[in-house]
C-alpha cells in the first residue's frame, strides 16, 4: 500500500556517484534497504509504506553524502502494465 503525499507515492533512490557505501541507511531502514557485497545500498523501487515514511525521511536527512533521496511519482496501480 502506498500513501498519498500530495506529490504521489514516495520511493527511495540512491545516487551511487555520491554514496560512500558505509551502509548507515540500511542500518536505519533494514526492511527497505539492504546492502550488496560491497556495502552499497539496494532499494527495491517500491513505494515506501505509509508507516515508514517518517523514518524514510529522517534517514534521507541523515545520509552523510546526501546520496539518498525520496522521489515522488505515481503509485503502483498507475504504472503501465508490461505484456
Ligand atoms: S547513508 Fe547515504 S552514503 Fe551511506 S550507504 Fe546509504 S546512501 Fe550511501
- Tell me if 71 sits within 8 A of 57, measured CB to CB: no
Ligand 1 touching residue 23 (CB < 6 A): yes
| Grid cell of 21 as nine digits | 557505501
Residue 70 per-residue DSSP state? E
Instruction: State in Å: Cα 1 to ligand 1 middle.
Output: 25
Ligand 1 touching residue 47 (CB < 6 A): no
32-47 pLDDT tens trace: 999 999 999 999 889 9
17-70 pLDDT tens trace: 999 999 999 999 999 999 999 999 999 889 999 999 999 999 999 999 999 999
Q: Which residue's C-alpha comes closest to atom 8 of ligand 1?
A: 19
Return the number of other C-beta atoms located less than 10 Å from residue 51's C-beta.
Answer: 9
Q: Which residues pair with 69 in a beta bridge?
A: 13
List the chain domain ranges: 9-74
Domain 9-74 of CATH type 3.40.50.1370: no
| Grid cell of 52 as nine digits | 515508514
Q: How far apart are CA 75 and CA 63, in angstroms?
A: 25
75 pLDDT tier (thresholds 50, 70, 90): confident
Amino acid at each position: 500500500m502506498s500513501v498519498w503525499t500530495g506529490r504521489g507515492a514516495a520511493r527511495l533512490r540512491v545516487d551511487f556517484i555520491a554514496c560512500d557505501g558505509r551502509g548507515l541507511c540500511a542500518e536505519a531502514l533494514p526492511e527497505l534497504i539492504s546492502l550488496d557485497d560491497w556495502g552499497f545500498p539496494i532499494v527495491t523501487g517500491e513505494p515506501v509504506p505509509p508507516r515508514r515514511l517518517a523514518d524514510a525521511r529522517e534517514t534521507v536527512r541523515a545520509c552523510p553524502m546526501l546520496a539518498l533521496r525520496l522521489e515522488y511519482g505515481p503509485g503502483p496501480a498507475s504504472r503501465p502494465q508490461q505484456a
